[in-house]
Amino acid sequence: MLQQKAFVANALEATVRIGILLLLAAWCFSIVQPFVIPLVWGIIIAVAQYPGYLKLRAWLGGRGTTAATLTAVLDLLVLLVPAVMLSGTLLDGAQGLAKGLQEGTLAVPPPPESVQGWPLVGEPLSAFWDQASRNLTETAAKLAPQLKAAAGWLLSTAVGAGFSVLQFIIAILIAGALLAHADASAEFARAVAARLAGEKGAELARLSETIVRSVTKGILGVALIQAILAGIGFMVMGIPAAGLWALLCLLLSTVQIGIFPITLPILIYVFATADTVPAVLFLVWSLIVGSLDNVLKPLVLGRGVQVPMAVIFVGAIGGFITSGIIGLFVGAVVLALGYKLLLAWVYERPEESAV
């Protein structure tokens, strides 16, 4: 009886302690939850830039804080300046298109005569375009459900873009802070991995580092480069809402669809409205930008851990649905990391663990 009472008392005490710990952990998570996505993205940026940071720190004579500050400033200039430049056209274009679609005030110019002579799509496209220019309300009525959905999506995208820029700024600042304390951060990461996986912790930590660099550079970096270059082309050609189309290029390039579904209708618009020489130059530019992933991705992604494109696709789409634009990046990296860790755990031999 005394042993039973002692067991019950110990079990009750352990339950209370575990409950308090879980409550404290849940409370802490609720406090830091708004910063989880920027923190994860900041860690991803820091890990991806760590080799370059080491070279810069050595070049500066071992001044780690100065190197981290320069790295963060360079990130802000290289990544955010084009985004800020395009955000104005994104907001104006999204709001203008949404307002025009909802109020029926959007005007469509008549199609040029040359459109009708285009092979295959010329006649139906010219007829539809002409009908829209004559009576946009009647044409829009046929597409009312699609237009309402598009208008709502445009407005939500315009609002979410500004918040995503703020998240990027916070993430870059976090990455700078982590790089400034790179040695302590790396030691902490290895200690956590050792606590979670024992002797395999160091190996899994290196695997995680490799995956983050590989996916960030091979998938997300290439997508960002394509979106920025495409957006520059749109702005030079005076395309309305250039920032909006650049954002769509970023989304499609990240999920491995490519930017051609966006650039193709824009090319049709340019050839119908612009002079021949600028239109041809824009065509060449679009082909080069759209084909960059075929050249850069094997060079960059091939140096790291290979991840199936299906994993990247699911991670990017799922991240976008759950966390917005920034979830495209975080979702793809986190799911790829989880995929490789799952394979490492599933195919690990028990005799290897026992040794």
Each residue's pLDDT tens digit, 76-118: 887 667 666 655 555 565 566 666 655 555 556 666 666 666 6
Residues with Cβ < 8 Å from 185, sequence gap 6 or more?
Answer: 46, 178, 179
**Per-residue pLDDT band at 354 (split at 50, 70, 90):** very low
Spatial contact of 266 and 234, defined as CB atoms under 8 Å apart: yes
Spatial contact of 352 and 344, defined as CB atoms under 8 Å apart: no
Spatial contact of 242 and 231, defined as CB atoms under 8 Å apart: yes
End-to-end Cα separation, the chain, in angstroms:
43
Mean pLDDT, residues 200-207 taken together: 73
**Per-residue pLDDT band at 355 (split at 50, 70, 90):** very low
Q: At what angle do helices 242-254 and 81-103 cross, to 10 degrees?
A: 110
Tokens coding 341 = 């860790």
Tokens coding 159 = 């609002």
Q: At what angle do helices 222-236 and 81-103 cross, to 10 degrees?
A: 60
Q: Give the C-alpha separation, 211 to 194, whole Å.
A: 18
